Amino acid sequence: MALRQIREIGDACLNKKCKPVKEINKRTTDLIDDLLDTMYEAEGVGLAAPQVGILKRIAVVDTGEEYQDGPLVLINPEVLETEGEQTDYEGCLSVPGKVGRVTRPNYAKVKAYDAGMNEYIVEGEGLLARALLHEIEHLDGHMYVEKVSGPLLTNEELAELLKEQEEE
Ligand code: ZN
């Protein structure tokens, strides 16, 4: 188990297009283990390799839903289909302490390879679709803040806003 340092917005690694993975070796499996450890430690639902400074097309996602085989390891992921629309507050471990309102498809179908380089398909709605699309964008050097409508809020500001809306 090893934790890696999460790169924050402004770090050049977060704006680079990542390279496809050709084969799995010890370095790749160590990276996957570290991504998972780092994501859980930071209480995130997803983490992409460029967020720890590695420019490879690898991301992990765990939204707490039941998957076939533990958390999702996405190697060379590709979005096959999207559908619908959802708007919600979204955050990123590389933009600590902030959230912003982002509109995304409500459904996503993604093809990826698992840690054993076996191809699989994952379909998600709601939070899972959001997490998949968010992480895959990291691999192309994009951040959710590019898509935010309105201001970035702190968690306290968001809680305040939601309370006000409830009272209305
Ligand atoms: Zn992110």
Q: How confident is the model at residue 165 (pLDDT cuts 50, 70, 90)?
A: confident
Range 114-139 average pLDDT: 96
pLDDT 10s digits, 21-73: 999 999 999 999 999 999 999 999 999 999 999 999 999 999 988 766 679 99
CA of 167 to the centre of ligand 1 (A): 31
pLDDT of res. 6: 98
Ion ligand 1 neighbours, Cβ < 5 Å? 92
Range 125-132 average pLDDT: 96
pLDDT at position 167 over 90: no
| Fold classified for 12-167 | Peptide Deformylase (3.90.45)
pTM exceeds 0.85 for this model: yes
Average pLDDT score over the chain = 95
Retrieve residue 14's tokens: 């977060």
CA of 111 to the centre of ligand 1 (A): 19
Q: How confident is the model at residue 109 (pLDDT cuts 50, 70, 90)?
A: very high
CA of 110 to the centre of ligand 1 (A): 17
Q: How confident is the model at residue 121 (pLDDT cuts 50, 70, 90)?
A: very high
Does residue 135 carry a catalytic annotation? yes
Per the residue annotation, which of 135, 137, 166, 168 is the catalytic one? 135
Of the candidates 61, 69, 13, 4, which has an alpha carbon nearest to the alpha carbon of residue 31?
4
CA of 24 to the centre of ligand 1 (A): 24
Range 89-115 average pLDDT: 97
Of the candidates 103, 126, 109, 41, which has an alpha carbon nearest to the alpha carbon of residue 74?
109
pLDDT of res. 166: 86
Antiparallel, parallel or unpaired: β 46-48 and 72-83:
unpaired
pLDDT of res. 40: 96
List all residues 6 or more positions away from 88 whose beta carbon is below 8 Å from its beta carbon.
101, 102, 130
CA of 137 to the centre of ligand 1 (A): 8
Comparing 155 with 7, the larger pLDDT belongs to 7
